C-alpha cells in the first residue's frame, strides 16, 4: 500500500509543513477583514453568510463559491463529477488569514477553484470530528500537519491530496495557481489512479494496532515518561522543546505528581523553572494578562499571539497545583491574573466563556500587544518610562524582528528580565501596568471568537473549581457553577448536549471531549463545594458516554457517538496534544468516580481504556501525559472521608488543612448524614480505612505517611 501511495503522491509536489513565520507574504499588508465587515454595503456574499461560525463568516464575502459541510455540497460534487477542496481552520488562526488574503480573496485563484472544485469550509473548533480525521490524513501523507488544513478529496469524502498553508504562487512549495490546474489535469486523465489512492488512504485510517497482552502498564511506565521529559528538558529556559515551544501543561502536571509520589526533586525543579520562565516571558501578556498560544523561539519571548480559552484553563490548573506544591505566591498571582483576563474578555454575560482572541489586529500579527520605546515614553512620565525600559527590556532597536509582520521599527514584546526581578517594585509596576493598559485599550482589539464550546468550558470549570478550593476563593467556584448551569440550560435539548453555542443557537452534537471535560469540571466542583448535584451530573454524563461512545467489542471511546454523522471512520484517540484526549480524561474521571462513589465498576472501565491503548502508551509514554496523570492516580488512590457539619468551625478546620496541600492522589468526600457525629476524618486506601482522627494535623500526618508509592 505504501508503495502505491508514494508513487501517486509523487505526481504532486508534496506540501510539507515549515516554520510559517519565515514565509514572507505581500498579502500580510492587507487590512484584516473581521466578521463585522460582512455588513459592509455592497458586499456580495456566498452561502457562508447563513452560518453561525465566526470562521465561516470571515469567508462569507470571498469570491470562492464556498459551501458549509453538508449533503448539498457532496451531492453537487457527485452530480458534476468534481473533486472537493476542503479547507479547515479557525477564526483566530493567523496563517488561515494569510491564505485567505492571498488566495481566497483573489479573483484569479477563486475563478480556478470554482471551475475545478466544489469548495467546502469547516471550522475545526466547531467540527473537531471532521478535523480529527483529515488531520490524520495530512500527517499520514506529509509527515506533519497544522492549520489551515487543505484536503482535496473525491465526492464520497475520500482524500487524495493533503497540505497546510498553500501560497498563491509557487516558491519552494507549490502555489494555488499551479496546484489547481495540476489537480484538474490529473482528475481528468488519471481518475482511476486517484480513486485507487483515495481508497488506500481511507482504508489505512481504520487500521489500529493494539495487543494489550504485550504491554502491561505499571509504575515503570510512569518512570519512563519522567525520564523522557528529563532528557528533553531545557536547562536554560525550561520547557521541553526548542521552537516552536508550547506550554504543554500536561507535562508539568504529570511531573508534579511524579515528584509527589517519588520525592524526586528534579521533577519539581523542571516544573518550577518552566512556570517561572513562561511567567516572565513574552508568551505572557504582562499588561492585560493571560497566556498566548505558544512561543516561536526557545526563550518564551516571541509568542504566536492568539489567546485560547483552553490554554488559560490548563495553565491555571498548572499554576494552581504548583502553588499548592511550593507555596510560591508568584503562582497564585498568575492564577488570579489569568482569571482576571478570562472574566474581563472571554466571559459571556449569560454564563460560559468565549473561545479565543486572534493574534492579528489591523492585519498585523501582534500589533495590539507590542510597543516601541517612543510609545512607552508618550504614555508614562520620564521616571516611570525609565523604570519600564528596565523591567521590560525596552530598547530603541526593539526585540521583535519584522519577519514580514510589518510591525513598527523598534517594536518590543514586553517581558520581565531576571535582572529587573531582583529590584522589582510591585506597587510601582502595577501603576505602570494600569497606565499602559489604559493606553493599549484605545488600540484596535484583535478579533474575538465568541462561540461557546462545551469541552473548553468544561476545562475552565475544572480550573475554576480547583483554584477555588486551593486558593480558598469561593467566587471561582461560583463562576464554575454558572458555567455548568449555562451548559445544562443552553446547550442541551431533550437530553442531547451540543458542542457549540452562539447567538442563542446550540448546534453540533456533543462529542467525547465535551462529555469528558465537563465531567472533569463536575468532579472538581463536587470536591470544591461538596454539593451532591455535581457528582450526580458527573455520573449522568459518564453513563451517556458508556451508552453512546463506548466500543463494546474492543474497548475505548470513539470521538463521536454511534448515531453521529458517518464521515470516513469513527476514530479513537489517546494522544494528548495541546488539548488532552477524551480517552485520557475519561479514564482519569472513571478512576476518581470509583473512589468518590465507592463503585469498582468505574475503575474497571478506566482499566479497560488503559488496556486498550497500552501498546501505544508503552511505546511512547511522552505523548500521553494526560493519561499518565490519571494513571498515577490509579496506581495508589487514597480517599479522605470527612465527618461533620461544615457550618461548624471544627469541621471546616479539616477542610482548611487540605486546601493548601498538593495531594493529587486524594479524593475527598463529606459525610454530613448524621449531625450528631463527632467531627473527624478517615483515611481510606485499597478499600481499607484507618481509625478516625479528630485533629487536622493528625489527618495530614496520615496522608504524608501514605504518600510514597510502594
CA distance 435 to 336: 20
Cell numbers 521541553 label which residue? 240
| pLDDT of 174 | 92
- What pLDDT score does 188 carry? 94
- Give pLDDT, residue 14: 35
List Cβ neighbours of 243 (8 Å cut-off, separation of 6 or more): 19, 295, 296, 297, 298
CA–CA separation, 489 vs 691, rounded Å? 43
Name 683's bridge partners: 640
Contact present, 132 and 149 (Cβ < 8 Å): no
Q: Output the DSSP codes for 455-497.
A: HHHHHHHHHHHHHHHHTT-HHHHHHHHHHHHHHHHHSEETTEE
Q: How far is CA 145 from CA 136, 204, 318, 559, in A?
A: 8, 17, 27, 19
Non-local (6+) Cβ contacts of 295 within 8 A are 243, 244, 245, 246, 281, 282, 283, 301, 302, 303, 304
Strand 159-163: give its sheet, edge to edge: 66-68, 118-123, 84-89, 149-153, 159-163
Per-residue pLDDT of 617-639, as tens digits, reads 999 999 999 999 999 999 999 99
- Name the one residue in this structure whose C-alpha cell is 508568584: 330
Residue 70 CA to chain centroid, in angstroms?
26
- Residue 420 has what pLDDT? 82
Spans in the chain with pLDDT lower than 70: 1-43, 207-214, 402-407, 673-677, 707-710
C-alpha cell at 297: 523561539
Residues 6+ apart with CB under 8 A from 216: 614
599: left (phi over 0), alpha (psi -120 to 50) or beta: beta
The SS3 assignment for 217 reads coil
Three-class SS string for 90-135? CCCCHHHHHHHHHHHCCHHHHHHHHHHCEEEEEECCCCHHHHHHHH
Supply the pLDDT for residue 417: 84
Residue 390: count other Cβ atoms within 10 Å of its Cβ. Answer: 13
Q: Would you say 419 and 336 are in contact if contact means Cβ atoms under 8 Å apart? A: no
Residues 6 or more apart whose Cβ sits within 8 Å of residue 398: 370, 372, 373, 409, 410, 411, 412
pLDDT at 348: 96
Three-state SS at 613? coil
Which residues partner with 639 through β-bridges? 667, 684
Q: What integer pLDDT is reported at residue 41 of this predicted model?
A: 43
Residue 521 region by backbone torsions, left for phi larger than 0, else alpha for psi between -120 and 50, else beta: alpha
For 366, list phi and psi in degrees, rounded to 5: 80, 0
On whether the CB atoms of residues 35 and 58 are closer than 8 A, the answer is yes
Q: Burial, 304: exposed, middle or buried (Cβ in 10 Å; 0-12, 13-18, 19+)?
A: buried
CA 596 to centroid of chain Cα atoms: 27
Res 209: pLDDT: 57
Give the model's pLDDT for residue 36: 33
What whole-number distance in Å separates Cα of residue 614 and Cα of residue 635?
A: 15
Q: How many CB atoms lie within 10 A of CB 495?
A: 7
pLDDT in the model for residue 596:
95
Sheet order of strands, 307-308 included = 307-308, 356-357, 448-449
Amino acid at each position: 500500500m505504501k508503495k502505491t501511495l508514494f508513487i501517486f503522491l509523487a505526481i504532486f509536489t508534496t506540501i510539507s509543513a515549515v516554520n510559517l513565520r519565515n514565509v514572507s507574504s505581500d498579502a500580510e499588508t492587507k487590512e484584516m477583514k473581521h466578521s463585522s465587515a460582512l455588513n459592509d454595503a455592497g458586499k456580495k456574499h456566498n452561502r457562508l453568510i447563513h452560518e453561525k461560525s465566526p470562521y465561516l463568516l470571515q469567508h462569507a464575502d470571498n469570491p470562492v463559491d464556498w459551501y458549509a459541510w453538508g449533503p448539498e455540497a457532496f451531492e453537487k460534487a457527485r452530480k458534476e463529477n468534481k473533486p472537493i477542496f476542503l479547507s479547515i481552520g479557525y477564526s483566530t488562526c493567523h496563517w488561515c488569514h494569510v491564505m485567505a488574503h492571498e488566495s481566497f480573496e483573489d479573483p484569479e485563484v477563486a475563478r480556478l477553484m470554482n471551475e475545478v472544485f466544489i469548495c467546502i469550509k469547516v471550522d475545526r473548533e466547531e467540527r473537531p470530528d471532521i478535523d480529527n480525521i483529515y488531520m490524520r490524513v495530512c500527517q499520514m501523507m506529509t509527515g506533519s500537519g497544522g492549520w489551515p488544513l487543505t484536503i482535496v478529496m473525491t465526492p464520497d469524502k475520500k482524500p487524495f491530496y493533503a497540505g497546510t498553508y498553500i501560497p498563491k504562487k509557487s516558491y519552494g512549495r507549490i502555489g494555488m495557481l499551479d496546484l489547481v490546474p495540476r489537480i484538474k489535469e490529473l482528475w481528468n486523465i488519471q481518475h482511476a489512479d486517484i480513486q485507487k489512492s483515495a481508497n488506500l488512504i481511507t482504508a489505512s485510517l481504520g487500521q489500529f494496532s493494539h495487543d494489550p497482552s504485550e504491554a502491561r502498564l505499571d509504575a515503570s511506565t510512569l518512570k519512563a515518561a519522567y525520564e523522557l521529559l528529563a532528557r528533553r528538558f531545557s536547562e536554560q529556559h525550561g520547557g521541553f522543546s526548542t521552537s516552536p515551544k508550547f506550554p504543554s501543561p500536561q507535562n508539568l502536571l504529570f511531573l508534579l505528581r511524579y515528584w509527589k509520589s517519588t520525592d524526586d526533586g528534579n521533577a519539581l525543579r523542571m516544573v518550577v523553572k518552566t512556570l517561572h520562565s513562561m511567567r516572565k516571558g513574552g508568551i505572557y501578556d504582562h499588561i492585560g494578562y493571560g497566556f498566548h498560544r505558544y512561543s516561536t523561539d526557545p526563550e518564551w519571548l516571541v509568542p504566536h499571539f492568539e489567546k485560547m480559552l483552553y490554554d488559560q484553563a490548563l495553565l491555571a490548573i498548572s499554576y494552581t497545583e504548583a502553588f499548592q506544591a511550593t507555596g510560591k505566591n508568584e503562582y497564585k498571582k498568575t492564577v488570579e491574573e489569568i482569571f482576571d483576563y478570562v472574566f474581563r474578555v472571554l466571559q459571556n454575560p449569560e454564563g460560559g466563556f468565549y473561545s479565543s482572541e486572534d493574534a492579528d489586529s489591523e492585519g498585523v500579527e501582534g500589533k495590539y500587544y507590542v510597543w516601541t520605546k517612543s510609545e512607552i515614553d508618550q504614555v508614562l512620565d520620564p521616571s516611570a518610562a525609565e523604570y519600564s525600559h528596565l523591567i521590560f527590556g525596552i530598547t530603541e532597536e526593539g526585540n521583535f524582528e519584522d519577519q514580514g509582520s510589518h510591525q513598527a521599527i523598534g517594536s518590543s514584546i514586553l517581558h520581565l528580565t531576571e535582572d529587573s526581578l531582583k529590584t522589582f517594585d510591585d506597587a510601582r509596576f502595577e501603576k505602570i501596568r494600569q497606565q499602559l493598559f489604559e493606553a493599549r485599550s484605545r488600540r484596535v482589539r484583535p478579533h474575538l471568537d465568541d462561540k461557546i464550546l462545551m469541552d473548553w468550558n468544561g476545562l475552565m470549570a475544572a480550573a475554576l473549581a480547583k483554584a477555588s478550593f486551593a486558593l480558598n476563593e469561593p467566587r471561582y467556584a461560583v463562576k464554575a457553577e454558572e458555567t455548568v448551569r449555562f451548559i445544562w440550560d443552553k446547550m442541551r435539548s431533550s437530553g442531547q448536549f451540543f458542542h457549540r453555542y452562539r447567538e442563542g443557537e446550540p448546534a453540533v452534537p456533543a462529542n467525547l471531549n465535551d462529555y469528558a471535560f465537563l465531567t472533569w469540571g463536575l468532579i472538581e466542583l463536587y470536591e470544591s463545594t461538596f454539593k451532591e448535584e455535581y457528582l450526580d451530573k458527573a455520573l449522568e454524563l459518564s453513563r451517556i458516554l458508556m451508552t453512546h461512545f463506548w466500543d463494546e467489542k474492543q474497548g475505548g471511546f470513539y470521538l463521536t457517538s454511534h448515531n453521529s454523522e458517518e464521515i470516513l471512520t469513527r476514530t479513537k484517540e489517546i494522544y494528548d496534544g495541546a488539548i488532552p484526549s477524551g480517552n485520557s480524561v475519561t479514564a482519569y474521571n472513571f478512576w476518581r468516580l470509583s473512589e468518590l462513589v465507592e463503585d469498582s465498576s468505574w475503575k474497571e472501565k478506566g482499566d479497560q481504556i488503559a488496556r486498550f491503548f497500552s501498546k501505544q502508551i508503552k511505546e511512547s509514554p511522552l505523548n500521553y501525559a494526560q493519561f499518565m496523570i490519571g494513571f498515577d492516580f490509579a496506581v495508589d488512590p487514597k480517599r479522605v472521608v470527612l465527618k461533620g457539619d461544615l457550618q461548624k468551625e471544627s469541621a471546616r478546620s479539616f477542610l482548611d488543612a487540605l486546601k493548601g496541600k498538593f495531594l493529587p492522589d486524594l479524593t475527598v468526600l463529606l459525610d454530613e448524614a448524621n449531625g450528631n457525629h463527632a467531627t473527624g476524618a478517615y483515611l481510606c486506601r485499597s478499600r481499607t480505612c484507618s481509625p478516625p482522627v479528630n485533629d487536622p494535623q493528625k489527618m495530614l500526618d496520615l496522608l504524608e505517611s501514605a504518600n510514597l508509592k510502594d
